[in-house]
Copies of this chain bind each other. A is one copy, B any other.
Amino acid sequence: MQQKVHQLFADIIDVHYPKSACSACDLRDLWCLPIGLKSEEFHQLDNIINRRKRIKRGEHLYRVGDVFRSLYALRTGFFKTLFISENGQEHVTGFHMTGELLGLDAICNDNHSCNAIALEDSEICEIPFSALENLCREIPALQKQFHKIMSREISRDQGLMVLLSSMNADERLAAFLLNLSQRFGARGYSPHQFQLRMTRGEIGSYLGLKLETISRTLSKFQEDGLISVQNKHLVLNDLARLKRITERTHTNAAPGSAQT
């Protein structure tokens, strides 16, 4: 939830990508793999990565059951990942943006257990996993970074578990909007306004709420002057007050053993 993402680079988006090698990739200070590598090591990483595959809006990057061979680094664009349960219902498990790594949940199975679908035209780098493992054995900094990325995914999911098991609709949506804001901010976009790439239904599926509840809560936030919504365009007028909503006290927690 409170990912320590560097807020330092306000210009990574609108530049042109001169080359697409990792060593030239503007994302390397984000949570992408190459963080902290020496230039020599960059080139080793470059060599294993298949660069710049394009995925159009609505297309799948992978599907449930696909053989797992590669991780995917999201270069530009926006993805959702989702499970499909026996009865055919979709459950959105995440929204993913520039610099994030997709496919980590498939390593344990040798095939993918969720679908990844582009919510806007996107570009990804394919990282063959066995080659990455080989390289991790040669480059300790890469190994360390990869472990941190996996661990961070675990932390992120656990944060969402806490949200889902203890927050009401207002709190969930406020936390969701703040999370988007913070991630856009970290990528050089404005944290105060942005386009929602997903539908109300997808937000609801992700937050464990119905789409009507999302719509109503957005309307309420707007009436309260917290935000302004028009279709998918969102303006956050008061980040501090949104934050305060997420911190409201509830009682859906385990009692006992409240040692300090």
Contacts and interface: CB of A to CB of B under 8 A. Distances in A.
Interface of A: 58, 82-83, 85-93, 104-109, 113-114, 117, 133, 136-138, 140, 143-144, 147-155, 157-158, 160-162, 164-166, 199, 201-202, 204-211, 247, 249-258
Nearest to A163: B164
A254 B115 CA distance: 13
A149 B250 CA distance: 34
B154 A153 contact: yes
A151 B205 contact: no
A104 B165 contact: no
A90 B251 CA distance: 9
22 contacts: A88-B258, A89-B166, A89-B250, A89-B253, A91-B162, A91-B253, A93-B161, A104-B150, A104-B154, A107-B147, A108-B151, A108-B154, A108-B155, A114-B158, A133-B140, A154-B154, A157-B161, A160-B161, A164-B164, A164-B165, A164-B208, A202-B254
Nearest to A63: B259
The 5 A-B residue pairs whose C-beta atoms are closest, nearest first, are: A165-B208, A89-B253, A107-B151, A157-B157, A205-B254
A121 B48 CA distance: 48
Given A91-B254, A147-B133, A158 B247 contact: no
Given A136-B137, A151-B150, A247-B86, A161 B164 contact: yes
Copies of the chain in the assembly: 2
B91 A154 contact: no
A204 B165 CA distance: 9
Contact of A93 (B87, B151, B158): B158
A167 to B, nearest CB: 9
Contacts of A211: 255
A18 to B, nearest CB: 31
B89 A251 contact: yes
Nearest to A153: B154
Contact of A158 (B105, B162, B201): B105
Contacts of A88: 258
A91 B150 contact: no
Contacts of A83: 158, 162
Contacts of A148: 107-108
Given A107-B151, A137-B136, A151-B105, A253 B158 contact: no
